[in-house]
Structure 1
Amino acid sequence: MTRDSGKIRFLGWAATAGIAASVLLTILLGVLGPSAMVPTLPGPSWQPPFSLTTRPGGYLVIALGAAAIVLGGAGLAAGFAALARGWTFRADLWVGAGIAAVVVLAFLPPSGSADHLNYAAYGRLAVLGHDPYTVPPEQLGGDPVAGAVEEWRGVTSVYGPVATAVQALAAVVGGDSVRLIVFVLAAVNAAAYAVTGLLLFRSAAGDDARQRQVALLWAANPLMIYHLSAGMHVDTLAIACMVAALVCGAAGRHAASGLLLGIGVGVKATAGLVALGPAWELRRSPRSLAIVTACAVAVAGIAYAVAGPQVLNQVGAAGRRVSLAVPWSLMKRGLQHAFGPGAYTVWIQVGSLLLMAVLVVLLLRAFSRAQHRAPQAAEVAVAVVVAWLFSSAYALPWYDGLAFALLALAFQPGLAAFMTARVSVLSLAYLPARQAGQPPGAREWLVDGVRANIVPWLLLALTGALMWWAWRAGRGQGSARPGHR
């Protein structure tokens, strides 16, 4: 056995062990039942999802979550390094194992955040004849579903009308049982995750290397399973639509691509950034571009028109927020210290847009240099979404799922490494992404310490490194494929 083959075997083993351990720890969090990481689900105990009622301590489950994130990030890093050196494995088995884990998690209570309680409440509001875009859950008084919402009781829906329709359907099935409503939503979420994985795997048919990338980047990605499957975030539905749209577009099915883009925007407005990829690729084909645009605008326009202009209320408000864990929070505090109290929203928004524009240009130049051709739809979409994630003033770790799915379509090893580092660091900042049930003293070191003061600096350094890497790669002084010379 040569030295290189020994290193490949070690990295492959480390990747397999880290990813498997991360997924098993994520499943364990759900199995243990209600805790600081797993919100209680009111409803009959015979209804799914199921779990034990061990009531584990807050620090224990937070440690389990942290271990899942660290092991998952390390496993992915080892996997990408092994792939760069020629590691081979049965991609179909990995995809199958990832989907199996997602199915198991659908029958366990969601963990990591309490967003699923918001989804249930918004669906319940819609079923009872209220507008979730103008009526917050707290206005339903003693309703058992709305009453289960935690810190977002006074906040109206920020999700698109298609997402609200899915939530309403779940509420019809689940009635006044939070448990059953959440299970229906989890089943839809698991189906979306699995379909995305299968679409990506099929799109790489005949290319074993690409199929292995799909397995690592999406189907068996422990950090995506942690956030999008166990966390059950609505982003999964939008990602499924966008991946399907790009796959259809690559096959020349432009009407279907446009329809799917419109549905994805109807789930979550920011998913529309992906549409810039097809728009760029089809810029010299006016007829095809017109078909995609017309279909996308028609579907999204009808969905938002039916819901009414109030559907964008919270979207606009979210665009003015600055989350604690992003580098812009450091700028905000610096401005407040220098010029006095204030949100400095416009300054930060302008800075964010400028940074995004610079990153898009740098990334596209790096891709063009690496591929020796103009970027295609999926590559443009990757560049835009990654630039948005790194420049946004409001970001949460599950938002990164869109970038990983796109990277599975247009693999860029350098970006995969940066995205793995970013989502790992950001995930530790939101461990967990809920306040209820936290152990005494946890806020001081989790929120005020890690989230507000450590992670922003780490992400700032990572953003600077990304810009430097992209600039060098675009000038031909580096490589868009780290590890290759």
Structure 2
Amino acid sequence: MVSGLAGRWQDLLAAIRLGPVRLGLLGTVLLVLGSLSPAYLPQASPYWPVMRALGLDNEVARVAATALVIGAVGLLILAWYRLRPAVYADVKPWAILCWWALPLLIAPPIFSHDAYSYAAQGWLIQNNLNPYEVSPSVLPGTFADQVAWLWRYTPAPYGPLALTMAHWLDMLAGFNPYYSAVAQRIPALVGVALLVHFLPRIARQLGLDPRQTAWFSTINPLLVIDLIGGAHNDALMLGLVALAVWLAYRGWYWPAVVAVGVGMAVKQPALLAAVPVAVIGSNWESWRWRDLVRFLPRALVTLVGVLIIFAAISLATGLGFGWLNAVGVPGMIVTLAPFSILGWLAEQGFTLLGMEAVGAAAPPLLQSVSLAIAIGLMGWLGIKYARTEPITFLAWAYLAFAVFGPALHTWYLLWGALFLPLARVSDRVLRTAAAVTSVLLVYGAGNLAWRNASIALALAAVAAAAIWLVLRRRARANAIV
């Protein structure tokens, strides 16, 4: 055990000796400093009295904070690209991630206020209220005040296990509203640890290069910022999906089914992983009727097994299935989803023409069209890939659901993107995915800059353009991927 710990320490030391690792660490330090601004802190944050006492609540400080965040993102992207040849050759990916995550462990939630919602929903449970039936606003106070204004008045759409864990973490934090939100990072860290441990191992099981998977999926800056920094419960869901896939390839069918069911109890999209769990090891030979009939009992048993685990957890927590009433909550705001943007544009256009009723009907109609497209794409992907390449199906189906589902946030794209290196994609596809990751990070850095000041938003736009130009130049020089 001592020798094992000594070896881990040597891995950490080897990592920090590398310039790109130190560059990324500087990036996350700057990210934490830049997050101490109105763009990321709710008004109820305990940081505000200290910042006001230090004279940091002014426009100059806000612009400086925006600059720090944008600079941090640029450093992380640059460090990520430079580390590709070194992963597993000179450094372990988990060691890189440890250094980069270190400053984020005690930082306020970054690029998102969802962790404050988790904490407020846990507070509801502490007061014998069901988050599926009431919103955080029914308990006025700091817990509710930390929640983003819209989600303050909506029920929870998350799985029952996620809500129960939020309650446990509130208890761990002594029901301090701020520390309860920070504590929500613990399940996210568990999920990321599962991803780091199992994704390269799945690559080896598939005969793929684990270095490519480790580079793209386990030290991806989007994972660092959104899953660790943002403390999203998607991290634990994805970690359990990765565990389920690894178990399935090891031939441990029932533990894999349980892992999917538990993942679904964290966040419902984990259900999609039931497909590869059913297919892997099934010897499903073709789409001929005879072979399909042989496979269908296993598929049905897998689905029923996952749903039984999910139902058992739902009943054991006492929360039931009220999340069904909140499935439309994520789509209540305009997000990056193409049809969400189209719906908003249509609504604005019809309203300008004096056709308010038509405008109000446009977003839900287009959301229905988008969901139909998502279901159609997942069906086509199932026919094309599920039988022969179940992980390829999983990666692209998750991406289809993220893009055409009711809402799209940057971390939703990680559902499928983290499995892309396991989908036997071409180098061109992975290069494109890396470029999209960079664009999303720049978008995330500038998305909330308007809260800091109009000049901060202008700075974000200029910096985003500059980062993009640098990346384009490096791409042309074949220096990126």
Normalised by the length of structure 2, the TM-score is 0.74
Which residue of the other structure, out of 298, 309, 334, is the alignment partner of 1:323?
A: 334
1:407 and 2:420 correspond = yes
What residue is the counterpart of 2:32 in the other structure?
30
Partners of 1:345 and 1:59 lie apart in 2 by 34
The range that moved more, 227-236 or 328-337, is: 328-337
Which residue of the other structure, out of 360, 379, 389, is the alignment partner of 1:376?
A: 389
1:299 and 2:309 correspond = yes
Name the SS for the 1:145 alignment partner.
Answer: helix
Unaligned runs of 5+ in 2: 1-17, 48-53, 285-293, 469-479
Deviation at 1:286, TM superposition (A): 4.9
Deviation at 1:345, TM superposition (A): 4.3
Deviation at 1:123, TM superposition (A): 0.8
Partners of 2:199 and 2:55 lie apart in 1 by 37
Unaligned runs of 5+ in 1: 1-15, 46-51, 459-482
What residue is the counterpart of 1:217 in the other structure?
216
Name the SS for the 1:134 alignment partner.
Answer: coil
Please say if residues 160 and 265 of structure 2, whose CA atoms lie closer than 8 Å, have aligned partners that are also in contact: yes
Q: 1:353 to 1:414 in 2, by over 3 A?
A: farther
Deviation at 1:384, TM superposition (A): 0.6
1:58 and 2:36 correspond = no
Deviation at 1:243, TM superposition (A): 0.8
Normalised by the length of structure 1, the TM-score is 0.73
Please say if residues 134 and 156 of structure 1, whose CA atoms lie closer than 8 Å, have aligned partners that are also in contact: yes
Provide the identity percentage.
21
Which residue of the other structure, out of 325, 328, 332, is the alignment partner of 1:313?
A: 325
Which residue of the other structure, out of 345, 360, 363, is the alignment partner of 1:342?
A: 360
Matched ranges for 1:52-451 at <5 A: 57-73=61-77, 90=89, 92-142=91-141, 144-151=142-149, 152-205=151-204, 210-281=209-280, 282=282, 284-286=294-296, 288-305=298-315, 306-318=318-330, 320-321=331-332, 323-333=334-344, 335-336=346-347, 337=349, 340-345=358-363, 347-356=365-374, 359-360=377-378, 375-412=388-425, 413-431=427-445, 438-441=451-454
Please say if residues 241 and 260 of structure 1, whose CA atoms lie closer than 8 Å, have aligned partners that are also in contact: yes
Cα-Cα RMSD: 4.0
Partners of 2:94 and 2:55 lie apart in 1 by 31
The range that moved more, 280-289 or 246-255, is: 280-289
Please say if residues 66 and 428 of structure 1, whose CA atoms lie closer than 8 Å, have aligned partners that are also in contact: yes
CA deviations over 1:123-164 (Å, ceiling 9, x no partner): 11111211112222121123x333332323222212110100
CA deviations over 1:372-422 (Å, ceiling 9, x no partner): x96322111012112222333510001122223222443524443343333
Please say if residues 34 and 40 of structure 1, whose CA atoms lie closer than 8 Å, have aligned partners that are also in contact: no
Deviation at 1:37, TM superposition (A): 4.4
Deviation at 1:240, TM superposition (A): 0.8
CA deviations over 1:272-307 (Å, ceiling 9, x no partner): 233333345546545643543332111112233442
The range that moved more, 103-112 or 17-26, is: 17-26
Please say if residues 272 and 394 of structure 2, whose CA atoms lie closer than 8 Å, have aligned partners that are also in contact: yes
Deviation at 1:358, TM superposition (A): 6.1
Please say if residues 446 and 457 of structure 2, whose CA atoms lie closer than 8 Å, have aligned partners that are also in contact: no
Partners of 2:159 and 2:73 lie apart in 1 by 29
